[in-house]
Amino acid sequence: MAVVEREKLLEVKNLKKYFPAGKKGVLQAVDGVSFDIYKGETLGLVGESGCGKSTTGRTIIRLYDATDGEVFYEGEDVHNKKSRSELKKFNRKMQMIFQDPYASLNPRMTVKDIIAEGIDIHGLAKTTKERNERVYELLETVGLNREHANRYPHEFSGGQRQRIGIARALAVDPDFIIADEPISALDVSIQAQVVNLMMELQKERGLTYLFIAHDLSMVKHISDRVGVMYLGNIVELTTSDELYEEPLHPYTQALLSAIPVPDPELERSRERIILEGDVPSPINPPSGCRFRTRCPHAMDVCAAVKPKWQEAREGHWVACHLYDEEAVKQNN
């Protein structure tokens, strides 16, 4: 790719989100993540359950208040906004699609009212007719039709509900959409429909996505760049092709080798890196590098020092002592 100065849409700096856990415990769900999202790109965020990927998404959009750190949207600090009107303006630009299409739509509202909620709040339609027209248009955009407008969510299948969720997000004409596991509750053949729809919409409307998922093959498919999270930290971030061809972090390598591929011959011949044990508790995470307890290459330095977030190659960021010459020297 040509080196063009791309415009940053979102900057996340050292974002932290802790939850209280019991008397003295603190659950460090997200512990200092930093990344940028450029205009028009899709950034994928992958990791296993409990790694903090959803919390990261929810904190960015202010469903949670950050414990520490900053989020800049087009240069403006998101988390310091106080007044209602400022927040409203910001909410129009950033929308979210949720994982569970069964839980994220109000069962007592018609599809029309669900989709139009944002239109009403932001006063985007002056007359009822205009409001209806907008809803019909959105329904058609996501591959449903206008007869669906007066129905209730229970009358739709999972894939159709997720389309309604997408229409709701698009209703206020956002620039940036956070999609939190938008397809993991759907069947394989329906997943492809929804992903194709999201990619089409991106092309047509120049949307920017943060795509959060645990399914690495789908993330690779939709994303330009991918960040890998483990226990509240981002351990590696690079373009999706490079991540899959040359993963640097031992966790990424293990994660990639663990995915079963739909190809029996390949499955029979493949060497797997099988990680021992389970993910440690985020209430009392390991010192130094959080992955060291399961890492096949762990050194002494990994327990003592937290690895630096560094650019190992151009555009390829990793937090691992194996790629830090100083740390390796120190260890020897």
Partner 1 sequence: MDKLLELENLHVSFQTYGGEVKAVRGVSFTLEKGESLAIVGESGSGKSVTSKAVMRLLPNKIGSIKEGSIRFEGKDLAKATEREMEKIRGSEISMIFQDPMTSLNPTMTIGKQIMEGLRKHQNMNKSEAKERSINLLKLVGIPNPELRVDEYPHQFSGGMRQRVVIAIALACNPKVLIADEPTTALDVTIQAQILDLMRDLQDKTGTAIILITHDLGVVANLAQRVAVMYGGMIVETGTADEIFYKPKHPYTWGLLASMPKINSDSKELLAIPGTPPDLMNPPKGCPFAARCPHAMEVCIDHMPDATDVSSTHKAACWLLDERAPKVEPPEAAVVGGAR
Point out which residues bind partner 1 (CB under 8 A): 48-49, 157, 159-160, 187-193, 195-196, 214, 216-218, 220-221, 241, 244, 254-267, 272, 274-275, 278-279
Using the minimum distance from each CB to partner 1, give the nearer residue, 180 or 324: 180
Using the minimum distance from each CB to partner 1, give the nearer residue, 37 or 254: 254
Q: Which helix (H) or strand (E) holds 240?
A: helix 240-245
Rg (CA), the chain: 21
Using the minimum distance from each CB to partner 1, give the nearer residue, 26 or 192: 192
- Tokens representing residue 52 in the block: 């903090």
Give 158-212 as a DSSP string. HHHHHHHHHHHHHTT--SEEEEESTTTTS-HHHHHHHHHHHHHHHHHHT-EEEEE
Report in angstroms how near the CB of residue 215 gets to partner 1 at its nearest: 8
Spatial distance between the Cα atoms of 181 and 185, rounded to a whole number of angstroms: 8
Report in angstroms how near the CB of residue 276 gets to partner 1 at its nearest: 8
CB crowding 214-232: b at 16 or more within 10 Å, else e: bebebbbebbbbbbbbbbb
Using the minimum distance from each CB to partner 1, give the nearer residue, 173 or 241: 241
Report in angstroms how near the CB of residue 105 gets to partner 1 at its nearest: 17
Report in angstroms how near the CB of residue 49 gets to partner 1 at its nearest: 6
Torsion of CA 92, 97, 100, 105, to 10 degrees: 40
Report in angstroms how near the CB of residue 107 gets to partner 1 at its nearest: 18
Report in angstroms how near the CB of residue 178 gets to partner 1 at its nearest: 21
Using the minimum distance from each CB to partner 1, give the nearer residue, 137 or 278: 278
Spatial distance between the Cα atoms of 90 and 16, rounded to a whole number of angstroms: 21
Using the minimum distance from each CB to partner 1, give the nearer residue, 87 or 261: 261
- Tokens representing residue 28 in the block: 């460090």
Tokens 């950050």 correspond to 66
